């Protein structure tokens, strides 16, 4: 082959892969924005049983065309206590089956339709919607169409490249039998690891086999390798992540390793079975799509009976709970950033956790349950949590957010500042309250009433409480204001009449002003957290898991 022709084929192959990957990214990102709420609803409401969990995994993965996105979303729900690890495993197993849809699209549409004729009007319509509806639902669907059009153009280039290459060279020359098959498995692993997309690898395998470049049996081995290689995406993503994220990724790895090893051994029998069932004969591309689906279903059938034991092993033996060196956040890691709508939900859960810790610190300080030094130690821990949340928000700001989440990030920063100021004020004023004996009984009673108001606020300002009412918070704030004015007047009166030393009067005035500041900040945070509840749809089955998480936080 002339060098120019070889160079042209190599560049065409690289360009086809690049277009395919770009199309898949645009398609997946657009679908996550356009159908993000549907994804959340399916994963949160329809995973209560094994069958529902598997079906939800299949449907959502088919919808967003990315098993990695579904797995990361599932991890976010496990972290948030909305889904148990067993339910997450069901969804992950189902998502592995759902990801076979890409192969079917390539085999049935990509190789049998004039893709340029199909892609050009789709590209024009998609760009029109995308440009006219940026940051809107319409724009997201436009991005989907653009991604699908580029996806098809990439397939078209790959198909032409392998048609030409298959007439000159065939991969069977590298070896046959198990040795050649294992080499192709390795090539599939490397290809998927480099591209971080098993869908792209499967598309390359199908187009290469359809063009005569790779024989059917070797192509099937390469499909097995692509499925094993796709686990690298999850493994890389959960490095340094939460224990639940690592457990979920481990389930994904085990599924593909077990099914992969089985199919390496049984591959000739599976190909014979396909040939026997489809007596009319299938073309090479469709045969690979059928084989890929059979492989995934085999893994599902083999692994499902052992989910209970797998969950117990992952929880207690292989990946124990996070230790003291774990990151300060419980719900936030890079995995949930893959799906912005779910990242916002995880952020809200982390803010709720921060609110619980902040109110607990304030309450313990006012009731003398902890000393000043312990308060300062807990304040330092909370400040680390605040910094981690702020860092997560900065990362999320770089993502394209759904319409419902546009105001979530600035409001989250507001809530974070309210919690921080109330916490810092509580620790600061704890050192002001030195000798209560210097006050007369009437002043002591006034200050005790204010403290009792703040402690009560720490209970009723929790927007997660089933009896929470914003009207109750507002009423308590009004009571506090009335009691504050009485205490302030009493202090000023005692100071002006010489019944209280001036320094003591100023110190106690600063103390009650600090209580007022804490009340104001907690009430503002409560209002925003109450509004955040509209972004998160709690399900009946999520209650116990979430309650257990709250108690352990």
167: DSSP letter: T
One domain, residues 292 and 340? no
One domain, residues 347 and 244? no
pLDDT at 115: 66
Question: What is the Cα–Cα distance from 29 to 191, expressed in whole angstroms?
Answer: 22
One domain, residues 215 and 296? yes
pLDDT at 298: 93
CA atoms within 13 A of residue 218's CA, in its CB half-sphere: 21
Domain containing residue 76? 3-317
pLDDT at 39: 66
pLDDT at 40: 65
| Residue 322 domain flag | no
One domain, residues 191 and 153? yes
In order along its 553 residues, the chain shows pLDDT tens digits of 556 766 777 788 788 778 877 887 787 777 767 666 666 666 667 777 888 889 988 888 887 767 777 777 777 677 656 677 888 889 999 988 988 888 888 888 877 667 677 788 888 888 888 888 766 677 888 888 888 888 788 877 877 776 665 454 455 555 567 788 888 899 889 888 887 778 778 888 888 888 888 888 899 999 999 989 888 877 776 766 667 777 888 888 899 999 999 999 999 899 889 988 886 678 888 999 999 999 999 999 999 998 888 888 876 677 766 554 455 787 787 767 766 777 787 888 889 989 999 999 999 888 877 777 788 888 888 998 999 999 999 888 887 776 666 678 899 999 999 999 999 999 888 877 765 556 788 888 999 999 999 999 999 988 877 788 899 999 999 999 999 999 999 999 988 888 888 888 888 899 999 999 999 999 999 999 988 876 554 433 333 333 333 334 4
* Counted domains in the chain: 2
pLDDT at 237: 67
One domain, residues 364 and 302? no
Question: What is the Cα–Cα distance from 410 to 351, expressed in whole angstroms?
Answer: 13
| Residue 179 domain flag | yes
Contact in structure between 53 and 47 (CB atoms under 8 Å): yes
| Residue 331 domain flag | no
One domain, residues 278 and 353? no
SS (HEC) of 313-370: HHHHHHCCCCCCCCCCCCCCCCCHHHCHHHHHHHHHHHHHHHHHHHHHHHHHHHCCCC
Provide the strand spans (E) within 41-95.
none
Nearest to 151 by CA among 83, 105, 117, 182: 105
Nearest to 327 by CA among 242, 413, 412: 242
| Residue 63 domain flag | yes
One domain, residues 302 and 448? no
| Residue 486 domain flag | yes
Domain end position, chosen among 317, 345, 372: 317
Question: What is the Cα–Cα distance from 359 to 454, expressed in whole angstroms?
Answer: 10
Question: What is the Cα–Cα distance from 56 to 54, expressed in whole angstroms?
Answer: 5
One domain, residues 289 and 374? no
Name the packing angle between helices 243-277 and 216-229 (round to 10°). Answer: 170
| Residue 246 domain flag | yes
One domain, residues 97 and 137? yes
One domain, residues 302 and 348? no
Q: Which DSSP string do the residues of 183-250 spell out, in sequence order?
A: HHHHHHHHHHHHHT-HHHHHHHHHHHHHTTSS-HHHHHHHHHHHHHHTHHHHHHHTTT--HHHHHHHH
| Residue 377 domain flag | yes
Count Cβ neighbours within 10 Å for each residue of 27-45 and write b for 16 or more, e otherwise. bbbbbbbbbbeebbebbbe
| Residue 329 domain flag | no
């Amino acid at each position: 082959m002339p060098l120019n022709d070889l160079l042209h084929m190599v560049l065409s192959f690289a360009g086809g892969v690049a277009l395919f990957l770009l199309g898949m990214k645009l398609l997946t990102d657009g679908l996550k924005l356009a159908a993000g709420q549907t994804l959340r609803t399916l994963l949160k409401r329809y995973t209560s049983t094994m069958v529902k969990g598997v079906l939800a995994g299949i449907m959502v993965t088919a919808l967003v065309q990315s098993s990695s996105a579904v797995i990361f979303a599932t991890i976010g729900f496990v972290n948030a206590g909305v889904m148990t690890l067993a339910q997450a495993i069901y969804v992950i197993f189902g998502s592995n089956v759902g990801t076979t849809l890409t192969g079917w699209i390539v085999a049935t549409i990509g190789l049998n339709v004039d893709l340029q004729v199909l892609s050009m009007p789709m590209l024009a319509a998609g760009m029109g919607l995308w440009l006219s509806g940026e940051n809107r639902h319409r724009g997201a669907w436009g991005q989907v169409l653009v991604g699908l059009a580029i996806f098809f153009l990439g397939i078209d280039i790959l198909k032409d490249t392998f048609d030409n290459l298959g007439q000159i060279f065939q991969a069977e020359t590298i070896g046959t039998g198990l040795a050649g098959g294992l080499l192709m498995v390795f090539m599939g692993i490397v290809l998927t690891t480099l591209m971080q997309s098993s869908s792209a690898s499967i598309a390359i395998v199908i187009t290469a086999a359809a063009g005569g470049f790779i024989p059917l049996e070797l192509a099937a081995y390469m499909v097995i390798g692509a499925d094993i290689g796709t686990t690298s995406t999850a493994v890389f993503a959960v490095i340094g992540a939460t224990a639940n994220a690592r457990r979920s990724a481990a389930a994904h790895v085990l599924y593909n390793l077990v099914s992969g090893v089985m199919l390496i051994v049984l591959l000739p029998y599976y190909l014979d079975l396909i040939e026997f069932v489809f007596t009319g004969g299938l073309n090479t591309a469709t045969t690979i799509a059928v084989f890929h689906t059979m492989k995934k279903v085999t893994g599902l059938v083999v692994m499902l009976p052992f989910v209970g034991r797998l969950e117990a092993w992952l929880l207690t033996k292989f990946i124990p709970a996070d230790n003291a060196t774990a990151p300060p956040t419980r719900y936030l890691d890079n995995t949930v950033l893959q799906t912005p709508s779910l990242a916002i939900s995880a952020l809200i859960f982390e803010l709720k956790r921060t609110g619980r810790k902040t109110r607990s610190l304030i309450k313990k300080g006012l009731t003398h349950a902890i000393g000043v030094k312990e308060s300062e130690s807990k304040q330092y821990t909370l400040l680390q949590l605040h910094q981690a949340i702020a860092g997560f928000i900065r990362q999320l700001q770089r993502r394209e957010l759904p319409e419902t989440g546009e105001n979530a990030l600035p409001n989250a920063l507001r809530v974070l500042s309210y919690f921080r100021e109330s916490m810092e004020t509580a620790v600061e004023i704890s050192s002001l309250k030195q000798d209560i004996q210097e006050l007369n009984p009437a002043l002591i009673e006034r200050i005790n009433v204010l403290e009792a108001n703040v402690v009560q606020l720490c209970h009723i300002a929790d927007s997660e409480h089933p009896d929470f009412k914003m009207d109750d918070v507002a009423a308590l704030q009004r009571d506090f204001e009335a009691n504050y004015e009485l205490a302030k007047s009493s202090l000023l009166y005692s100071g002006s009449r010489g019944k209280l030393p001036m320094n003591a009067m100023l110190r106690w005035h600063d103390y009650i002003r600090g209580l007022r500041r804490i009340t104001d900040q907690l009430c503002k945070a409560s209002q925003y957290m109450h509004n955040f509840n509209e972004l998160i749809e709690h399900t009946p089955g999520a209650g116990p898991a979430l309650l257990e998480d709250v108690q352990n936080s």
